Amino acid sequence: MKTTFTDSLFRKNWTMLCAVAGLHLMGGQLLRAQDIIYKAAGDSIVSSVDEVNDDEVLYFNVPTTKGSVRRKLSVKEVSKIKYANGYVELFESTTLSSGRTVTSALAFDVIYTVSGSELKAKVLEVDESSVTYSLLNSKTVDKIATDRLIGIRYANGYEEAYNAPAALKQKAAAQALAAASQKASAVLNPDVIKLDNGKEIKARIQEVDELNIYFTPFDGDAGKREAIALEKVFKVMYANGYEETYAVSKKALAKEEAAEEPEAKPSKAPEPKPAKVVEAKPAKVAEPKPEKEKIAKAAPKRAEPAEKKPAVAAAPLAPQELAVIRLTDVLKKEPITSLQKAAFEPMSVEYLDLRSNNLKALPAEVKNFKNLVAINLSKNNLRKFPVELLDLPNLQYVWLDETGLQSLSFEGEPLEKLKKSHIVFISAKSNRLTRVSSSVFGLGNLQELKLNNNQISGITWDKKTDLSQSYLQSIDFQSNRLSSLPVELKDLPSLTELSLSNNNIKSLDKETAGFKTLKSLKLNSNPLKKITPQFYQLSAIEEVDLNQTQLTSLPDSVSKLSRLKVLVLPGTFATFPADFGRLKLLTELRLNNSTPYSKIQQFPAAVLSCQRLRTLDLSGADIKALPGEIAKLKRLENLYLSNCRLSTLPEELFTLPRLKVLDLSNNKITQVSKSVAELNSLENLNLTDSPVEGASLLSLRRSLPSAQIEYFDDDFGLNFTSAPLPANKLSNFKRLFAACDQGSPAAYVELGDFFNSSKDYGLAVKAYRVVAENPRLAGTGKSMACLLSIAEIYDDVDNVKPYTSPYKRKRYADYDDYLNTSANNKAFQSYLAITKVNPLDPVARQAQKKASARASIICNEIAENLEKIFERNTAEIERLIQGSGDMQNLSAGGEKIMNDAVVDNSEAGAAVGAVLSIFGSVAATAKEDKSEKYKSQNVRLKSDISSLKAQATQLAAN
């Protein structure tokens, strides 16, 4: 029989690995790998397959001895062979009309990957770098790189081998060797059952259920099956190294009881600790053993009459033991989107994306994906949470957005099942939920719950729910129908983030009592008018968002929020309390900047005492001036003062050593002091829609070479962004600006050229204008060249330059567009202006000649543009005249119908005729009026076209 790469990979390599692992000899017997031959009749043979040819399967019985006889079996009797290394070879039998039965491989291709998996598929295309294929029973087409392949066995028997990278081959070999070694250990060593009384039983464990362990003695009769109750078992140590603890030994219990104090003293429970998140990868399920070692807790004692002891305060929540994979790491994984593809490799599926598949229930195949970490079922037709997901041992992330979900409840599910669930994240956004069951909070490891964009009005309480052991940290109720703070959540010991934005909460009364661990509370976009003093007892709160509420002030008791770091206030806010400055930890204060000109009329002095502020946003406040005391906020990094009606800036502002972002957009500032250069940390200066003068902008660029400057340019009527100057060119810029200080025209020209090439057209024009508008340089080559450069920046009819301006040259859509916007054509106007200047040197004359040529070309292009408009008008006139005639005929027909109806005494006919007559007459008149308008335009168009062509001829002659 011909040896192929599949033979060597899946048969001979196993023998080699067994030899390396020392599996050849055991007790004088030859130990062969156990292959299973499945017969067509339904029975199977445990064997060691030696050879498979076209007619026969040659094998040895297992266990074998040195004298074992090689046996044979006709391939006609075989349906499949499952080799010890996991490879499965399938056969099919076909009965011909002659009665002869032919057995052959199934009609599909098999792709063998370096990871050891087999893809049963139809190969569509093979090129140098990849293989395109479609899995069986799937319409999806996928690709796999050839460097990830070992080979392909085609349905016709042809086999193709690939040279996978050596590192991948070594990895696959190492994985196979590790698996072989583990299997060898399991064969050579016994499982050990340690009993509670200290005794040990060496055995081969066959099954473990909720009550018993079933095993056969290691050294005894292999056919004798015994059982022992779990309550007698302390620990099981499996031959593959895995250990499982079931109970604490009696000796350990006795020692703990002896160490107990005779009487427990009442103590105050320390503050609950939030759950710890540990990065980890999901464990691969490789053996039919329990998936994860469980740390046993002390066995409960029998209840006996005892003397009552003083009540002890509840212990804090223990740190979470679950190894949680970060969501960012999950989303980096390549999701499997085909259920058929996932079913072929169930143990390798970690991230399954089944969005938009019109699913009405969880597919049955999902229960086999034991290593599944994340599943996205969004945009399907599910009505309830698929409780089967609770049984997946490694599942942590679940998305059920836009599924029409109407119920989110685990009532009726065993509490122990909920506690064992490893789900840490559930997203059920944009569904039809009206209430949420508290049983959801009973999921043992749930940390984050997203319920925004539903219709939730409250929480249905399940008496069996125990919140004291919940690790839930974040709940998002944004955009629901809650009218108050859900008090049921106050006992969650780990809750730190709660979003209630965009609900219908009008006041906060006593609901805020509790919530001892809450750090972030979002109440924005609620009709909230009142906050009671109990709110200020949220001792752990660090962030409060009150944006777009109806609050106008805060009481002095706000200072009790001693840990507050972030506060967002609404545009209705008018006054700050006197002791606001006692919020010593406040690092971020924002006023709603979506409402221009709030009720705050001056800079709030109380804020100046919050000297840890890093971000201050007073956008929209009508403060008009900034106090010099702003310099007290030495830690300030971000200052937003958009739309504050500022016209000047105090010098003290430029002494803030850490300022990175300064937003002065939409103000009345025309100049910025050169002292701005002292802001060494500044990264972004926003002056958009503020009328800062050109010279001041050039000075800013010089003073802040490393900052991004956003500014408004009145030459273009739009905002520009000037990027930081390149670090390797800073020395050259300092030289240029120094030369500019000496009045060097060449330096300004060089600056303009740099900004022009950097697409910073606003600053480019401003640099060129310094030279072009200098009266001492009028008519010189430098002045004319700068005027020409400015014209060329506007000359962009094809919109190649990345800016949009009403002053850029354009093509006209119709004659009205030409009349309304042709005066804004700064490119044409600039070229014409150059042709009227008296040139004083050869460079100036050359620039003027180029400007004349460009102006002549533009004249001809505009004339051509107007000629096309003339042609469209002519065609439209003909269409309108034809239409007017049709409408006149319609009107005449209506009159005839009306006259006939009068004769026939038909009121209905008279009404229809009248309508047709009036409609036809009005429509005919409208079309005639419109055609007259186009006729009038064409008369003027002829004149304009003639003038433009004459002007073009004259300019070309210059």
Task: State which amino acid sits at residue 496.
Answer: T
pLDDT at 943: 93
DSSP 59: E
- 508 and 535 Cβ atoms separated by less than 8 Å: yes
Higher pLDDT, 307 or 451: 451
Residue written as token pair 């072989």: 180
pLDDT band at 319 (very low <50, low <70, confident <90, very high): low
pLDDT above 80: residue 664: yes
Instruction: Taking each helix axis as running N to C, give the angle between helix 730-741 and helix 745-757, from 0 to 180 degrees, rounded to the nearest 10.
Output: 140
86 conformational bin, left if phi > 0, alpha if psi -120 to 50, beta if neither: left
CA distances from 728 to 123, 683, 706, 756 (A): 54, 18, 12, 18
pLDDT above 80: residue 689: yes
pLDDT at 930: 92
Of the listed ranges 313-322, 411-420, 893-902, the least confidently predicted one is 313-322
pLDDT at 599: 76
- Give the distance from CA 931 to its chain's centroid: 56
Of the listed ranges 56-65, 552-561, 693-702, the least confidently predicted one is 56-65
pLDDT at 298: 35
The DSSP code sequence of 507-564 is EE-GGGS--TT--EEE--SS---EE-GGGGG-TT--EEE-TTS---B--GGGGG-TT-
Of 477, 533, 475, whose CA–CA distance to 505 is shortest?
477
The residues with which 80 forms a beta bridge, in sequence order, are 38, 90
Write the pLDDT tens digit of every residue in 606-643.
Answer: 899 998 999 999 998 888 999 999 999 999 999 999 99
Average pLDDT of span 801-815 = 83
pLDDT at 293: 35
pLDDT above 80: residue 315: no
Looking at the chain, the whole-number percentage of residues with pLDDT higher than 90 is 40
Average pLDDT of span 488-499 = 90
DSSP 42: S
Q: Rounded distance, CA 416 to CA 5, Å?
A: 50
Of the listed ranges 36-45, 170-179, 192-201, 275-284, the least confidently predicted one is 275-284
pLDDT at 67: 57
| Contacts for 34 with CB less than 8 Å, ≥ 6 apart | 46, 47, 48, 62, 84
Counting Cα atoms < 13 Å in the Cβ hemisphere of 667 gives 30
DSSP 634: T
pLDDT above 50: residue 881: yes
CA distances from 12 to 4, 9, 816 (A): 11, 6, 85
Average pLDDT of span 329-349 = 89
pLDDT at 596: 53
pLDDT at 173: 58
Phi, psi angles (nearest 5°) of residue 556: -60, -25
pLDDT band at 58 (very low <50, low <70, confident <90, very high): confident
Q: Rounded distance, CA 441 to CA 432, Å?
A: 19
pLDDT above 70: residue 877: yes
pLDDT at 403: 94
For the record, the structure tokens of 102 come out as: 């032919």
pLDDT above 90: residue 277: no
pLDDT at 15: 41
Q: Which residues of 720-743 are buried (b: 16+ CB within 10 A; e: fewer)?
A: bebeebeeeeeeebeebbebbeee
Write the pLDDT tens digit of every residue in 591-603.
Answer: 875 555 567 888 9
For the record, the structure tokens of 621 come out as: 């406040």
Q: What is the largest CA-CA distance in the chain?
A: 124
Model-level pTM? 0.62
Q: Which residues of 469-495 are buried (b: 16+ CB within 10 A; e: fewer)?
A: ebbbbbbbbbbbebeebbebbbbbbbb
Write the pLDDT tens digit of every residue in 377-432.
Answer: 999 999 999 999 999 999 999 999 999 999 899 888 888 888 889 999 999 999 99
Looking at the chain, the whole-number percentage of residues with pLDDT higher than 70 is 81
For the record, the structure tokens of 459 come out as: 């929480």
pLDDT above 70: residue 668: yes
pLDDT at 169: 52
- 616 and 639 Cβ atoms separated by less than 8 Å: yes
CA distances from 242 to 245, 290, 368, 372 (A): 10, 9, 22, 21
Burial class of residue 843 (count of CB atoms within 10 Å of its CB; 0-12, 13-18, 19+): middle
Of the listed ranges 206-210, 629-633, 954-958, the least confidently predicted one is 206-210
pLDDT at 822: 86
- 28 and 67 Cβ atoms separated by less than 8 Å: no
pLDDT at 646: 93
Of 425, 424, 416, whose CA–CA distance to 294 is shortest?
416
| Contacts for 99 with CB less than 8 Å, ≥ 6 apart | none
Q: Rounded distance, CA 489 to CA 436, Å?
A: 12
Q: Rounded distance, CA 399 to CA 426, Å?
A: 6
Task: State which amino acid sits at residue 5.
Answer: F
pLDDT at 473: 94
Write the pLDDT tens digit of every residue in 136-147.
Answer: 777 677 888 887
pLDDT at 294: 33
Strand order in the sheet with 109-113: 141-145, 130-135, 118-126, 109-113, 149-153, 159-161
Q: Rounded distance, CA 403 to CA 425, Å?
A: 17
For the record, the structure tokens of 482 come out as: 């809650």
Chain-wide mean pLDDT for the chain?
81
| Contacts for 317 with CB less than 8 Å, ≥ 6 apart | 272, 273, 275, 468, 469, 471, 493, 494
